[in-house]
Amino acid sequence: MTTINSKIPEGKLSEKWSEYKSHQKLVNPANKRRLDVIVVGTGLAGGAAAASLGELGFNVLNFCIQDSPRRAHSIAAQGGINAAKNYQNDGDSIYRLFYDTIKGGDYRAREANVYRLAEVSGNIIDQCVAQGVPFAREYGGLLDNRSFGGAQVSRTFYAKGQTGQQLLLGAYSALSRQVQNGTVKLYTRYEMLDIVLIDGRARGIIVRNLTTGKLERFAAHAVVIATGGYGNTFFLSTNAMGSNGSAAWQCYKKGAYFANPCFAQIHPTCIPVHGEFQSKLTLMSESLRNDGRIWVPKNKEDAEAIRAGKLKPTQIKEENRDYYLERRYPAFGNLVPRDVASRAAKERCDAGYGVGSTGLAVYLDFSDAIKRLGVKTVEARYGNLFQMYEKIVDENPYETPMMIYPAIHYTMGGIWVDYELQTSIPGLFAAGEANFSDHGANRLGASALMQGLADGYFVLPYTIQNYLADQIQVPRFSTSLPEFEAAEKAINDKIHKLMNIKGKRSVDNIHKQLGLIMWEFVGMGRNKEGLQTALKEIKEVKREFWSNVRIPGSGSDLNTEMEKALRLADFIEIGELMAYDALHREESCGGHFREEYQTEDGEALRDDRKFSYVACWKYTGDDKEPELLKEDLNYEYIKVQQRNYKS
Amino acid sequence: MDKTINITLKIWRQKNPKTKGNFETYPLKNISIESSFLEMLDILNEQLIHEGKEPVVFDHDCREGICGMCSLYVNGHPHGPDEDVTTCQLHMRKFKDGATITVEPWRSAGFPVIRDLMVDRTAFDKIIQAGGYVSVNTGGVPDANSIPISKINADEAMDSASCIGCGACVAACKNASAMLFVSAKVSQLALLPQGRIEAAHRAKAMVAKMDELGFGNCTNTGACEAECPKNISISNIARLNREFLTAKIKD
Amino acid sequence: MWLLQSSIGKKLIMSISGLFLLVFLLLHMSVNFVSIISGEAYNEACHFMGTNIFVQIMVPVLAAGFVIHIIYACVLTLQNQKARGSDKYASSSKTKVPWASKNMFVLGIIVLGFLGMHLMHFWTKMQLSEWLGEEQALGYTLVSALFKNPLYAVLYLVWIWALWFHLTHGFWSAFQTIGLNNGKWIPRLKVIAYIYATVIAVGFTIIPIFFWLVPGK
């Protein structure tokens, strides 16, 4: 049986990372030029990694599917980025950020990785400020912080409601500087379709030039995958339309383990679904929960009247409102972690108290905040979010409460990586949301930006050298090697096959069907029976896709339907693995809620005795059951507890 | 049930950069006014695929107004007739029943058409590569709070930095000038002490690249500001002019 | 040379030459006003303008100002046409911008057309002839005779209002291009531009109206 080696350095938790850095192998400057590194993705992790590796002197090839690296979906993160700076003197520390992240992740993350994340979090803020990221400041000229879900300190740095944008533009500018310096070569509108292994090591990729539709080959000494998450398996999610799991999935199919695929985060504050033609869900920053209060009517009759359009939320008296988060979780109130807030909303709506025309929405009310702080302050904090809401919903949130509902937002699961961010394929690394590493079963708000940048700026540029140091004798590979030939041929065959189906249904049409199955059975609440149904129905979708999809145009030209079809082919399989993983994990933790496993008052019930491990899935062949490998999680520094946000 | 409208679309179709394009007319029925403009195009494409035709190609990604990928010149406006939004946030409630909607790609020599409504905006990346950054390497930077920055400057820098690089400014400008885009980046960094050090070089390098790539000369019509989905002010252009001219005069 | 090659350099030339012409217009208008007050004084002023050394030096400078402003207007406009690309928008732009700002070149041509006529009618007879040692016409007589011609008066008015539009944009735009502008001053300068343009236009308009309405003059 294969064993999992996560390569966690020996020593005290707080010294592991510095110990590692002191003893790792490095590549000398003259040799760096001779080593090629492929980085797929230009988001916070990919962009930061490509820029940093370029600065070090490696020869970097950087790919993205958008027309510019600046458009990666990291840009859409609104709220902020966590860092244990303790600028507010409110008792924050590296340990506390580490502890909050492990606890928020429901004790399913690796201690050493999370500690390192907390350790470098401060450096990220320093780096970004040096790049000219315009973080919000106090009148005294120092950086401002806000609080975020799952934490009792204010450690979130922000740039209006556009923190992700500003951080990404910081990484993008660093990347642009390296492009100018000639260390990074950019390939925009390129999509990775396969990874090429030579003698078991990652040595290149096959990409499709999306503008010409032609396949191209690229070789390198190491490959970094930073292609984000697979939330779009659900069709409707807060991810961008182009976000996909295909690059990660190809790695899985070539032997990289896929870890904890069922850990998907549902974000509690999204704009509710309004119709079947809807193409995506828009997130409203979690920071809104700082000042907004979440409620539904206390009486079912009121909820029904609201749904029928007979009653307005502002007409419901204070005593008839149920601020259910404040009621259930007095200590954290509206700031409970995302999974808790999402499930609580679903619970209220399922019980018949939901609002909006569909009954699948709850209120997020700012009237108290406006009374307390004044319109001006509220506008300064959330103005752009309110404007966005008004543009989409056509209601003024200053006057009437916003409506929100949970939606798929982030996937904690991803390609398994060791402490060095290396996957189970030597020479293949994964960073950012694409890997599984730091968030356990649930990610805290403002931690995704932190992890992406930590991986890209401060972790990968070190750890990848430990691998590359042994590669300096390896000459550049030719892309006409049989391994490249074979990989390209396989893709050509796949494209050919897809083009020849000539069925009746569009890609989106089938994708929506998959999305409904996922949301219904592999969404916020899961159970054995439902998951088994999902597995059956997903197989059906797969059959339907491969026999009835219609792709107009040509396979070897710009073809957006072909792009989507290739992604959907993988989403179907990812969905299957998610259901598979969810079925095997007979406990509730974080974003994975199994209805059979809950406490009497409806909270998630973990089973640490049986499931305190990372589920690593190994590909064994098409339509074959994947093999489960377990990486045990040993908590040496944190006492594992039932998560409690009540007191 | 949602209110629906019937519309007629006149859409620019062009096979590739070399062929000549033309407008095609597509009637669309029962479009919910709650749907976004791009969702309406999704419906059109679904219909086209069903008829065995090739769907209309257009750039889009985040669909929440921040990635800057979507473009489209709709009825004489970049990003359509609504204020302060990108095309992805434009909703069909802005159109009347029976309306004819003309949809064109961004038009500018700097943004050649790739296919249908998709254009090539790599020129913007090249301008940033010429100098739109602070030359610091990863690591070895001072503590984030070591240099206090006045809130006024930080906020103004943030306003400039909110540019999404969509290119609406170029599309709106009768001169196809990229000054608003360039000035937003130059301003953001010129306002912060971290960026101030290279401000003169940056202004010169970015303007030179902008000129080289064939963007037009700004004549201060203010069309860019009027159409910018992120409300970037032309006061940034004044600052760029100032930065550029003082840099050149000092040389 | 950055001044001649960079876009901002070329615009700086437009801006500086424009500002120079703005000052000239103000002076010209002031002198014109003298004709309303007293014919004699006006003739004297004309004579002064025709003989004073400083003015003589400034004439070629002024001419150069015009020529540079016009040449660069052409250069920039041609470049801008090219930047717009070969495919034009089918739908006309609905972007809300001041009309003048979009039509500076056309307005400039109207102003230029009149300028030619104006030079032929006045300048050749007043200043050029003085230089050539010919007998020059008395300014006052010339002005009063010309403005009695209704066609000329109407053309003059068309010109003035084209100039008004040209100045409403040109004035604040010149400051913007030099970089002497910011969020606070953009609206202020726009207001000042309207005031300046209106003063100039009204100032120049009063004269033909005056000659029209006061037949004795």
Alpha carbon distance A207, A213 (integer Å): 10
Chains in contact with chain C (at least 3 beta-carbon pairs closer than 8 A): B
Phi, psi dihedral angles at C190 (to 5 degrees): -65, -40
Q: Which residue of A has its CA nearest to B31?
A: A277
Angle at A181 between CA A176 and CA A184, to 5 degrees: 60
Indicate if A177 belongs to the active site: no
Contact criterion met (CB < 8 Å) for B246 and C179: yes
Alpha carbon distance B232, B226 (integer Å): 9
Higher-pLDDT residue of A541 and C148 is A541
Is residue B246 within 8 angstroms of chain C, CB to CB?
yes
pLDDT of A561 above 60: yes
pLDDT average, residue stretch C53-65: 90
Sign of CA dihedral A548, A554, A556, A559: negative
What's B4-114's CATH class? Answer: alpha beta
Spatial CA neighbour of A167 closest among B87, B66, B205, B240 = B66
Phi, psi dihedral angles at B9 (to 5 degrees): -105, 135
Cβ burial of C134 (10 Å; 0-12, 13-18, 19+) is exposed
A172 CB neighbours in chain B (<8 A) are 128
Phi-psi group of A105: left, alpha or beta (phi > 0 → left; psi -120 to 50 → alpha; rest → beta): alpha
Question: Residue C97 is nearest to which of B10, B76, B222, comparing CB atoms?
Answer: B222
Distance of CA B72 to CAs A426, A607, B56, B87, B121, Å? 44, 52, 12, 7, 13
Question: Residue C79 is nearest to which of B107, B108, B216, comparing CB atoms?
Answer: B216
Q: Nearest-CA distance from A299 to chain B in Å?
A: 25
User: Which amino acid would we find at residue A308?
Assistant: A
Contact criterion met (CB < 8 Å) for C94 and B76: yes
Helix (H), strand (E) at residue B182: helix B179-190
% residues pLDDT > 70 (chain A): 100
Spatial CA neighbour of B215 closest among B174, B248, B246, B161 = B174
Is residue A391 within 8 angstroms of chain B, CB to CB?
yes
Of A315-329, C149-163, C185-199, give the lowest mean pLDDT range. C149-163
Residues 171-210 of chain A with CB under 8 A from chain B are 172-174, 176-177, 179-180, 186, 188
Can you read off the two tokens belonging to residue C25?
A: 């217009």
Q: Nearest-CA distance from B218 to chain C in Å?
A: 8
B49 CB neighbours in chain A (<8 A) are 506, 550, 552, 561
pLDDT of A28 above 90: yes
Alpha carbon distance C144, C138 (integer Å): 10
Residues A398/A77, Cβ–Cβ less than 8 Å: no
CATH of the domain at A397: 3.90.700.10
Which residue intervals of A549-629 are DSSP H helices? 560-584, 608-611
Spatial CA neighbour of A377 closest among A400, A398, A408, A349 = A398
Residues A613/A631, Cβ–Cβ less than 8 Å: yes
Give A150-208 pLDDT, tens digit per residue.
788 999 999 988 999 999 999 999 999 999 999 999 999 999 999 999 999 999 999 99
Res C215: pLDDT: 61
pLDDT average, residue stretch A321-331: 94
Q: Which residue of A has its CA nearest to B114?
A: A211
- CATH 3.10.20.30 in chain B, residues? 4-114
pLDDT of C34 above 90: no
Alpha carbon distance C164, C202 (integer Å): 9
**Chain centroid, CA A478 distance in Å:** 34
Contact criterion met (CB < 8 Å) for C83 and B109: yes
Query: Do C and A have ≥3 inter-chain CB pairs under 8 A?
Result: no
One-letter-per-residue 3-state SS of A259-315: ECCCCEEEEEEECCCCCCCCCCCCECCHHHHHCCEEEEECCHHHHHHHHCCCCCHHH
Res B2: pLDDT: 65
Contact criterion met (CB < 8 Å) for B55 and A552: yes
Is residue A477 within 8 angstroms of chain B, CB to CB?
no
With H, G, I as helix, E, B as strand and everything else as coil, classify residue A62: strand
The last residue of a domain, from among A407, A437, A462: A407
pLDDT confidence band for C119 (50 / 70 / 90): confident
Give A406-419 pLDDT, tens digit per residue.
999 999 999 999 99
Is residue B71 within 8 angstroms of chain C, CB to CB?
no
Of A236-245, B79-88, B209-218, C138-147, give the lowest mean pLDDT range. C138-147
Query: Do B and A have ≥3 inter-chain CB pairs under 8 A?
Result: yes
Phi, psi dihedral angles at B8 (to 5 degrees): -120, 130
Residues B249/B200, Cβ–Cβ less than 8 Å: no
pLDDT of C217 above 60: no
For helices A111-131 and A16-23, what crossing angle results, to 10°? Answer: 80
Helix (H), strand (E) at residue B119: strand B118-119
Can you read off the two tokens belonging to residue A342?
A: 């999402």
Which residues, 6+ apart, have CB-to-CB distance to A38 below 8 Å? A60, A61, A62, A63, A204, A205, A218, A220, A222, A223, A224
Residues A552/B52, Cβ–Cβ less than 8 Å: yes
B61 CB neighbours in chain A (<8 A) are 66, 71, 73, 240-242
Give A3-23 pLDDT, tens digit per residue.
899 999 999 999 999 999 999
Of A469-478, A497-506, A594-603, give the lowest mean pLDDT range. A594-603
**Chain centroid, CA A139 distance in Å:** 34
Side-chain-side CA neighbours of residue C8 (13 Å): 31
pLDDT confidence band for A276 (50 / 70 / 90): confident
Can you read off the two tokens belonging to residue A59?
A: 């020869």
Pairing of strands A264-270, A402-411: antiparallel
pTM: 0.95
A66 CB neighbours in chain B (<8 A) are 61, 67, 69
Fold of B121-250: Fumarate Reductase Iron-sulfur Protein; Chain B, domain 2 (1.10.1060)
Alpha carbon distance B104, B71 (integer Å): 9
User: Which amino acid would we find at residue A516?
Assistant: L
In a domain, A319, yes or no: yes
Is residue B149 within 8 angstroms of chain A, CB to CB?
yes
Is residue A48 within 8 angstroms of chain B, CB to CB?
yes
Residues 94-133 of chain B with CB under 8 A from chain C are 102, 104, 107-113
Spatial CA neighbour of C174 closest among B170, B238, B244, B206 = B238
Which residue intervals of B116-172 are DSSP H helices? 122-129, 151-161, 168-172
In chain C, the largest separation of any two C-alpha atoms, in whole Å, equals 59
B60 CB neighbours in chain A (<8 A) are 241
Alpha carbon distance B112, A580 (integer Å): 47
Residues A433/A228, Cβ–Cβ less than 8 Å: yes
Higher-pLDDT residue of C43 and A73 is A73
B228 CB neighbours in chain C (<8 A) are none
Selected for mutation to probe chain B from C19, C84, C173 (highest B CB count within 10 Å) is C84
Q: Nearest-CA distance from A183 to chain B in Å?
A: 12
Of A312-321, B138-147, C40-49, give the lowest mean pLDDT range. C40-49
Q: Nearest-CA distance from C140 to chain B in Å?
A: 39
Q: Are residues A500 and A393 in the same domain?
A: no
User: Which amino acid would we find at residue C155?
Assistant: L
Spatial CA neighbour of A202 closest among A217, A220, A190 = A220
In a domain, A362, yes or no: yes
Q: Which residue of C has its CA nearest to B104?
A: C89
Chain-wide mean pLDDT for chain A?
95
Res B156: pLDDT: 97
Alpha carbon distance B84, B80 (integer Å): 10
The count of domains in chain A is: 2
pLDDT of B1 above 50: no
B112 CB neighbours in chain C (<8 A) are 85
In a domain, A427, yes or no: no
A134 CB neighbours in chain B (<8 A) are 154-155, 157-158, 161, 188, 192
pLDDT average, residue stretch C187-198: 96
Can you read off the two tokens belonging to residue A598?
A: 């809950």
Q: Which residue of C has its CA nearest to B175?
A: C80
In a domain, A594, yes or no: yes
Is residue B218 within 8 angstroms of chain C, CB to CB?
yes
pLDDT of C37 above 90: no
Contact criterion met (CB < 8 Å) for B138 and A461: yes
Of A70, A108, A338, A343, catalytic: A338
In a domain, A215, yes or no: no
Give B13-30 pLDDT, tens digit per residue.
999 999 999 999 999 999
**DSSP strand E in A65-138: where?**
81-82
With H, G, I as helix, E, B as strand and everything else as coil, classify residue B74: strand
Of A548-552, C12-16, C50-54, C79-83, give the lowest mean pLDDT range. C50-54
Side-chain-side CA neighbours of residue B168 (13 Å): 34
Give A114-127 pLDDT, tens digit per residue.
999 999 999 999 99
In a domain, A529, yes or no: yes
Selected for mutation to probe chain B from A180, A212, A232 (highest B CB count within 10 Å) is A180
Q: How many CB atoms lie within 10 A of CB C156?
A: 19
pLDDT average, residue stretch A590-615: 92
Res C137: pLDDT: 66
Contact criterion met (CB < 8 Å) for C9 and B248: yes
With H, G, I as helix, E, B as strand and everything else as coil, classify residue C187: helix
- Domain boundaries in chain C? 22-53+102-213
In a domain, A149, yes or no: no
Spatial CA neighbour of C68 closest among C78, C80, C76, C57 = C76
Sign of CA dihedral C80, C85, C91, C95: negative
Phi, psi dihedral angles at A97 (to 5 degrees): -65, -40
Domain around A303: 268-407
pLDDT of A433 above 80: yes
